[in-house]
């Protein structure tokens, strides 16, 4: 009888796990939303995760819809460049760093789901379900993967309540079609003196082909900037636009009209900057966590989805090579937990340091940013996983 696997959550992690497992398993994929279309916002995916997607033969498809990031450019809000770092293949990596809309990543993963995968939408798994599955003498599943995101029920079942840590800022995000930004391949990070930071990057190859840029942006606004004002302004889309316009009023980037970017974004979404303290255990009996359920992290560093993809590939690899699911869980957790816990802390550190560098100017600012990003790259560097699990070679063109 094939190994029976339940996956809770059909986000990036759940879909990547199902796609990586392939045909030899009986998979039930539970998703509490009514459809599997990802949202229309962007993700920047790191080369180690792209390498796992390439292992599924998805590289050329991803590169045909997304944008290969050439460099990260750091600027102040008057348009002064602080520094620039090449990324992905432009920095000598084998794989590109890729900017892509989440719905394009999701539809690419859906195209690789095995036919043995049963998708159950509008089906929310509760703690009671996990308890019932565990109590049954004939267990319905050999392994249950908790890929249910930052508010994970499987995490509560596995390790009990763990507090969300609020980072003291709101993230506003949107997507807008604008004239080509710089070379159409650059990721920018703008820091203003009041602590507001803008991350913006192009995400669509289709829009690039007509000479424009579809820009995914996130504006990080510290609570200290809006204290006492937010409640009075309200939360309607118009109020949010007014608030953001007032925050970026004196910005002068030259190559990007930030006010137009805000105006032209059909829907501006807001989230709090949140993570949870790292934990030293991700499993309970046959339930194991991955992705944001295991290690929710600040999006600063663009690592959350990337690490989730690597988790899923690694768990699938362990399931394929270990006859006993408990051994697969042990191998997966011992490989991934130390690395991702380090990244949760590295993201907090980078967030803190970027704000601390605000008081500096000129070459001192360059040195500080340079040190922060070099230390960060060192902290998140991972040993590449063996390519033995690749299903086929895949190539890309530039």
CB atoms within 10 A of CB 230: 16
| 3 lies in the site for ligand FAD, by CB under 6 A | no
Closer residue to ligand FAD, CB minimum distance, 186 or 365: 186
Contact 218, 265 (CB under 8 A): no
Q: Give, as ranges, the residues between 51 and 80 that touch ligand FAD (CB under 6 A).
A: none
Q: Is 347 near ligand FAD (CB under 6 A)?
A: no
Interaction between residue 306 and ligand FAD (CB under 6 A)? yes
Given a contact cutoff of 8 angstroms between Cβ atoms, the answer to whether 144 and 286 are in contact is yes
Token pair 């790292």 is at which residue? 278
C-beta closer to ligand FAD: residue 55 or 304: 304
- State the sign of the Cα–Cα–Cα–Cα dihedral 52, 326, 151, 27: positive
Q: How many helices (H) and strands (E) are present in the chain, helices listed first?
A: 14, 16
Instruction: For residue 36, count other CB atoms closer than 10 A to its CB.
Output: 19
Residues binding ligand FAD: number (CB under 6 A): 34
Stretch of 28-36, 52-60, 257-265, 358-366 lying at the interface with ligand FAD (CB under 6 A): 28-36
* Pick 65 or 365: Cβ nearer ligand FAD: 65
- 4-8 vs 67-68, strand pairing mode: unpaired
CB atoms inside a 10 Å sphere around CB 211: 9
- The mark string for 165-204 relative to ligand FAD (x by CB under 6 A, - otherwise) is ------x-x-------------------------------
Distances 397 to 64, 206, 393 between C-alpha atoms, Å = 9, 15, 14
When asked if residue 13 is in the footprint of ligand FAD (CB under 6 A), the reply is: yes
By beta-carbon proximity to ligand FAD, the closer residue of 11 and 22 is 11
The binder of ligand FAD chosen from 291, 328, 343, 369 (CB under 6 A) = 291
Inter-residue contact 179 to 213 (CB < 8 Å): yes
Residue 303 in contact with ligand FAD, rule: CB under 6 A = yes
With CB under 6 A as the contact rule, which of the stretches 56-64, 107-115, 206-214, 296-304 interacts with ligand FAD? Answer: 296-304
């Amino acid at each position: 009888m094939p190994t029976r696997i339940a996956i809770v959550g059909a986000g990036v992690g759940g879909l990547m796990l199902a796609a990586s497992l392939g045909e030899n398993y009986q998979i039930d994929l539970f998703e509490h939303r009514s459809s599997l279309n990802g949202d229309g916002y962007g993700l920047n995916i790191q080369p180690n995760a792209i390498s796992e997607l390439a292992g599924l033969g998805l590289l050329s498809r991803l590169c045909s819809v997304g944008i290969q990031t050439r460099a990260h450019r750091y600027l102040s809000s008057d348009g002064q460049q602080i520094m620039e770092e090449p990324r992905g293949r432009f920095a000598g990596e084998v794989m590109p760093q890729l900017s892509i809309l989440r719905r394009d990543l999701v539809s690419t993963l859906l195209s690789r789901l095995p036919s043995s995968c049963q998708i159950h939408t509008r089906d929310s798994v509760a703690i009671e379900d996990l308890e019932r599955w565990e109590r049954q003498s004939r267990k319905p599943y050999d392994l249950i993967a908790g890929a249910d995101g930052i508010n994970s029920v499987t995490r509560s079942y596995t390790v009990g309540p763990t507090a969300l840590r609020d980072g003291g800022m709101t993230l506003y995000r949107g997507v807008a079609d604008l004239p080509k930004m710089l070379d159409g391949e650059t990721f920018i990070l703008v820091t203003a003196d009041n602590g507001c930071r803008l991350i913006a990057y192009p995400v669509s190859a289709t829009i690039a082909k007509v000479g424009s840029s579809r820009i995914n942006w996130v504006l990080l606004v510290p609570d200290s900037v809006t204290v006492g004002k937010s409640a009075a302004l309200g939360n309607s889309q118009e109020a949010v636009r007014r608030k953001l316009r007032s925050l970026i009023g004196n910005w002068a980037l030259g190559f990007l009209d930030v006010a137009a970017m805000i105006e032209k974004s059909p829907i501006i979404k807001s989230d709090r900057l949140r993570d949870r303290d790292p934990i030293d255990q991700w499993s309970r009996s046959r339930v194991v966590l991955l992705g944001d359920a295991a290690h929710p992290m600040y999006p600063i560093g663009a690592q959350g989805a990337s690490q989730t993809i690597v988790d899923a590939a690694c768990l699938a690899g362990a399931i394929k090579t270990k006859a006993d699911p408990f051994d697969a869980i042990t191998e997966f957790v011992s490989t991934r937990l130390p690395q991702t816990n380090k990244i949760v802390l590295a993201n907090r550190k980078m967030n803190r340091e970027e704000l601390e560098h605000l008081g500096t100017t000129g070459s001192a600012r360059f040195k500080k940013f340079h040190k922060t990003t070099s230390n960060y790259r060192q902290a998140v560097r991972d040993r590449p996983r063996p390519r033995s699990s690749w299903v086929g070679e895949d190539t890309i063109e530039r």
